[in-house]
Amino acid sequence: MSTESTIKQRTGGAPHSALARLAGLMALTVFSGGTAHGQNPSSDVEYGYIIKAREAAAEDLHREFYHRCFIDANYPDTIASYRKTATPIEPAKVFDNLYFTSDGDNTVWILRTSEGFIVFDSFNNPAEALEFVGGGMTKLGLDPGQIKYVVITHEHADHFGGSKYLKEKYGARLMASEPAWQTMAAEKRPRVAYAPARDMVIADGQRLTLGDTTVTFYLTPGHSAGSISAIFNVKDNGVPHVVGFMGGMGSPNNEAGRNQIIKSYARWQTLTANAGVDALIANHSAQDNAIDKVEFLRVRRPGAFNPLVVGADRYRRYFEIQKECTRARLARNGQKIDQ
């Protein structure tokens, strides 16, 4: 109603002052653009966290800062749907013993050991597991029949959907946290068709050793109650590195989840620092820019850097961004910030 009266005033031909015109423009801005994020003045508290995140981003993590503070917060579906419609992405070897396969949005990481493979996540459904896990491994010259474990990072269908199939087809054992198993057991139609039956339970600090490789798991709730994360060793042309893989990083949409993930981020920073983590991967390419980095790895010359190796300082600052942007969202929504 105010917008309408402002337009009448501005188009009525009556002489009016610059101040009146300004007031009219302001009214237009407020009433026509109230839902556009960029037009709302940020609160000082929210802005303070955004600036902290920007400082943590320094000169090398701009994209991560903008993603977590704004794009993921304001347009949660944009990236996934965009990526899903993109040209199919070929699987790739990213370390001597780690492989990438993607449906364009989700990444499944395949860890090769001396006694078979540990696969992290399984895409949305059996068809995707067949195409991107089984098919992807075959393209890479790997035998999917040697998949020994499928680790379900958390209880969302885009991660567990193909796991039941991988167990039936290849005899893989499935691993998930207790809260994840409980949630998957309660799945409703249509996803219940893909929900795997309870198998191995991941506890906090638990180690899984397969042949020459050990993976250490931690419970990192927040994105979901049952989210887990993993630390393991890789080699890049023979040079050892330590991967830190946080298994659930999408921003929770409620106050409790946001505060919980801030705690998990803080703990993860300590755990990864103590473990000497220097390589960053995630299970959605929007979070670690894996697709971009894999494209570089396809053309990389011997001795050149591996973009998944970010170093300890950048790794820590990456999670500083996650924490501060999550606090900014709590502030934006007038929610309590525990720490």
Shortest distance, position 27 Cβ to Zn ion, whole Å: 41
SS (H, E, C) the chain: CHHHHHHHHHHCCCCCCHHHHHHHHHHHHHHHCCCCHHHCCCCHHHHHHHHHHHHHHCCCCHHHHHHHHHHHHHCCCHHHHHHHCCCCCCCEEEECCEEEEECCCEEEEEEEECCEEEEECCCCCHHHHHHHHHHHHHHCCCCHHHEEEEECCCCCHHHHCCHHHHHHHHCCEEEEEHHHHHHHHCCCCCHHHCCCCCCEEECCCCEEEECCEEEEEEECCCCCCCCEEEEEEEEECCEEEEEEEECCCCCCCCHHHHHHHHHHHHHHHHHHHHHCCCEEECCEHHHHCHHHHHHHHHHCCCCCCCCCECCHHHHHHHHHHHHHHHHHHHHHCCCCCCC
- Least spacing, CB of residue 9 vs Zn ion, in Å: 50
Minimum Å distance from CB 334 to Zn ion? Answer: 25
**Minimum distance from CB of 275 to Zn ion (Å)?**
24
> Minimum Å distance from CB 101 to Zn ion?
18
261 or 331, CB closer to Zn ion?
261
**Cβ closest to Zn ion, residue 67 vs residue 156:** 156
How many chain residues are in contact with Zn ion, going by CB under 5 A?
A: 1
Closest CB to Zn ion among 6 and 153? Answer: 153
Residue nearest to Zn ion (CB): 156
Q: Contact letters (x/-) for Zn ion, 148-167, by CB under 5 A?
A: --------x-----------
> 163 or 233, CB closer to Zn ion?
163
Instruction: Please identify, using beta-carbon distances, which residue of 50 and 129 lies nearer to Zn ion.
Output: 129
In the complex, the residues that contact Zn ion under the rule CB under 5 A are: 156
